[in-house]
């Protein structure tokens, strides 16, 4: 009874004199709402992202074989062990070789597909879908098709069948590191699987190039084809190209699925993540060395990301400065 | 008279085309190149279907059989009846993981992105940096420490272990923040006038008007959750907890190889995503254009 009267009294009064009180109330509700909206995410981020990183830093300074609560401090031993381990440094070499093949190849193929799809008029949606469809495949499914059929080392593999038509002997694609046929298998697989994705990015960029540029070039006497491509299309795609190349580099760095499945039980041709998997979750279960490896790889990728930020001007249009 | 007009038109059209597209020869070349590329891209799908619907004898036979003369739909039954590998269970696991991860990521990351974009708070910048910091470290590189954490929580071989650690994606949160920064303020102000708070206007005004963006993120998230391999491999120690990708991987190392069941399994595992592609391609393309460029 008394509360209703107070409210009735307060209401008309607060309308003219208002600003102080409601604003205070609004500010409280802002803080509360902010935490209500972001709380679950932030807690999860700390527990499942920051805590593991911190724990791994901790483990990397201990002798942590078969345990995650070690008590023997070893300083930088795990780091020196990993960095002098030929298997780990070899995996960085493998990554480098892989990146040298796959990054330019995917860039060229996805750009080429985008140019083709962009120019044709007839059945354009069909062709775009065909090139894009492999993105639906997992690396595991693709590895299975590549290993068990296309590049199967036996006579009935598709590639060996085709070679057989020309009288060439069967090749054991994945069996040995020399000659390194396995690179052909790995590179074609990733090329098939990821080109459609980057083609979409290039298509979007191609459609953003103003048509007037081509008209102006035609008036200036530029020949269609190589000249307009070299002096208009390519420079206009520079931002997208840079982004694509760095995305490809980071994706190659994280390659695991196809190497793990295609080169099962080999000691060669292992990229960093496969090597890390073997160190930490293989028979030795060396979490200390595994964590040190994870820290090293993380530092390397941060350097790449910062480099990327410098090139692309990350956060330039971002008001959060 | 009547014959010359179309002739003139034709020459004009051909001239225009020649000026623009390099003439008939050029466009034929274009279609040949596109056709050859499309053929190469379809070969793996052809091989997959051919092997899934034939017998091992035909697969391993001396001459390449281009298409099975007797289509073996019985391979499907053989796959699901296999007592050694519970394929149906692995499809179910993948479905649960894919759907829960998609729903969970959309919920958690969109709310956080909204807070960062729209709710004024004095420490918001510091919190934004906490989120941005995780963008530099890809989750796949930290799988060793994540596994250590999840195993000490006792979550190995559980749906919790497969799903929850992957929900807190700094990148998706960042994408939502960027999206909400561009969301028209007038709509929210109208909701405010109608007496809705942040929570109410978020659910009644912001989300219903952002369904395109949510659909784009959902499509991408579902595809990557369904296709994920490293984390399910690490967490799934027991075959009952394997997702379909881990089962496919196990086929490749098995001693006994039955080609037609293996390829049938692969075909079935791709099927849900082919549906996603056919029916949601619009959102998928939009999602890639958004996530790819900003990544």
Q: Chain A partners of B269 at a C-beta cutoff of 8 Å?
A: 138, 141
Q: Chain B partners of A117 at a C-beta cutoff of 8 Å?
A: 34
Q: Where are the domains of chain A?
A: 2-59, 77-312
User: Domain spanning A77-312: which CATH class is it, in words?
Assistant: mainly alpha
Rounded average pLDDT over B224-235 = 92
Q: Where are the domains of chain B?
A: 85-294
* Nearest residue in chain B measured CA to CA from A262: B252
Residue B35 pLDDT exceeds 80: yes
Q: B1 or B122: which carries more pLDDT confidence?
A: B122
Mutation for A interface: B51, B124, B141, B247, most A CBs within 10 A: B141
The answer as to CATH 1.10.3720.10 being correct for domain B85-294 is yes
* Confidence band, pLDDT 50/70/90 cuts, at residue A313: low
CA-to-CA separations, B234 to A27, B66, B161, in angstroms, rounded: 46, 39, 10
CB pair distance less than 8 Å for A68 and B148 = yes
- Six-digit token string for B212: 């395109």
- Six-digit token string for A4: 């209703």
A161 — contact with chain B (CB < 8 Å)? yes
Nearest alpha-carbon partner for B43 in A262, A137, A103: A137
Give the tens place of pLDDT for each residue, A282-306: 777 888 888 898 889 888 888 877 7
Q: Which of B134, B170, B277 sits opposite A133 (nearest CB)?
A: B277
Task: Spell out where B84-207 has E strands.
Answer: none
CA-to-CA separations, B22 to A120, A121, B15, B41, B113, in angstroms, rounded: 12, 14, 10, 26, 49
Residue A114 pLDDT exceeds 90: yes
How far apart CA B238 and CA B235 sit, in angstroms, is 9
Compute φ and ψ for A208, nearest 5 degrees. -90, -5
Residue B207 pLDDT exceeds 70: yes
CB pair distance less than 8 Å for B111 and A301 = no
How far apart CA A275 and CA A266 sit, in angstroms, is 11
Mutation for A interface: B32, B35, B44, B181, most A CBs within 10 A: B44
pLDDT, residue B77, reads 84
How far apart CA A267 and CA A195 sit, in angstroms, is 29
Lowest mean pLDDT among A164-173, B86-95, B155-164, B206-215: A164-173
How far apart CA A198 and CA A251 sit, in angstroms, is 12
Give the tens place of pLDDT for each residue, A163-177: 888 888 888 888 888
Q: B292 or A203: which carries more pLDDT confidence?
A: A203
């Amino acid at each position: 009874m008394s509360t209703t009267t107070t409210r009735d009294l307060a209401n008309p009064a607060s309308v003219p004199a208002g600003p102080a009180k409601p604003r205070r109330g609004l500010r409280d509700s802002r803080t509360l709402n902010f935490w209500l909206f972001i709380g679950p995410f932030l807690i999860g981020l700390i527990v499942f992202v920051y805590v593991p990183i911190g724990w791994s830093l901790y483990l990397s300074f201990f002798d942590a074989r078969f345990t995650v609560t070690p008590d023997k401090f070893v300083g930088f031993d795990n780091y020196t062990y990993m960095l002098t381990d030929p298997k780990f440094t070899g995996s960085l070499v493998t990554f480098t070789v892989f990146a040298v093949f796959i990054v330019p190849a995917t860039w060229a193929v996805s750009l080429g597909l985008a140019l083709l799809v962009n120019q044709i008029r007839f059945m354009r949606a069909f062709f775009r879908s065909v090139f894009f469809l492999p993105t639906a495949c997992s690396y595991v499914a693709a590895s299975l098709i590549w290993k068990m059929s296309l590049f199967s080392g036996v006579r009935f593999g598709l590639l060996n069948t085709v070679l057989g038509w020309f009288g060439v002997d069967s090749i054991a694609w994945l069996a040995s590191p020399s000659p390194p046929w396995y690179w052909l298998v790995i590179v074609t697989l990733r090329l098939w699987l990821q080109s459609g994705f980057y083609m979409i990015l290039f298509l979007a960029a191609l459609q953003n190039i103003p048509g007037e540029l081509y008209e102006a070039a035609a008036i200036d006497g530029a020949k269609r084809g190589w000249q307009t491509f070299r002096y208009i299309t390519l420079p206009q795609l520079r931002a997208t190209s840079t982004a694509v190349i760095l995305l490809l580099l980071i994706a190659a760095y994280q390659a695991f699925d196809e190497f793990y499945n295609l080169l099962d039980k080999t000691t060669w041709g292992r990229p960093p993540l496969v090597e890390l998997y073997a160190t930490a979750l293989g028979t030795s279960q060396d979490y200390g060395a595994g964590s040190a490896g994870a820290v090293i790889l993380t530092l390397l990728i941060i350097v790449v990301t910062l480099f990327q930020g410098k090139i692309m001007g990350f956060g330039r249009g971002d008001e959060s400065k | 008279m009547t014959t010359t007009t179309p002739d003139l038109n034709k020459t004009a059209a051909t001239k225009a085309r020649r000026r623009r597209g390099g003439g008939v020869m050029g466009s034929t070349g274009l279609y040949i190149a596109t056709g050859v590329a499309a053929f190469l891209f379809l070969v793996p799908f052809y091989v997959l279907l051919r092997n899934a619907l034939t017998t091992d004898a035909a697969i391993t036979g001396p001459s390449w059989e281009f298409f099975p003369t007797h289509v073996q739909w019985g391979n499907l039954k053989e796959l699901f009846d296999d007592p050694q590998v519970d394929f149906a269970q692995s499809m179910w696991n993948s479905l649960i993981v894919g759907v829960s991860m998609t729903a969970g990521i959309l919920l958690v990351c969109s709310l956080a992105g909204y807070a960062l974009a729209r709710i004024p708070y004095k420490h918001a910048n510091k919190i934004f940096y906490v989120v941005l910091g995780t963008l530099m470290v890809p989750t796949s590189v930290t799988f060793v420490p994540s596994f250590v954490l999840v195993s000490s929580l006792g979550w190995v071989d559980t749906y919790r272990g497969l799903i929850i650690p992957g929900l807190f994606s700094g990148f998706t949160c960042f994408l939502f923040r960027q999206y909400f920064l561009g969301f028209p303020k007038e709509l929210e102000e109208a909701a405010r006038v109608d007496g809705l708070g942040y929570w109410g206007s978020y659910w009644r005004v912001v989300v219903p008007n952002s369904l395109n963006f949510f659909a784009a993120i959902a499509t991408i998230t579902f595809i990557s959750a369904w296709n994920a391999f490293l984390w399910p491999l690490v967490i799934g120690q027991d075959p009952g907890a394997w997702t379909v990708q881990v089962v496919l991987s196990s086929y490749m190392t098995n001693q006994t190889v039955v080609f037609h069941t293996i390829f049938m399994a692969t075909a079935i595992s791709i099927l849900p995503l082919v549906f996603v592609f056919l029916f949601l391609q619009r959102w998928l393309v939009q999602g890639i254009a958004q996530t790819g460029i900003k990544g």
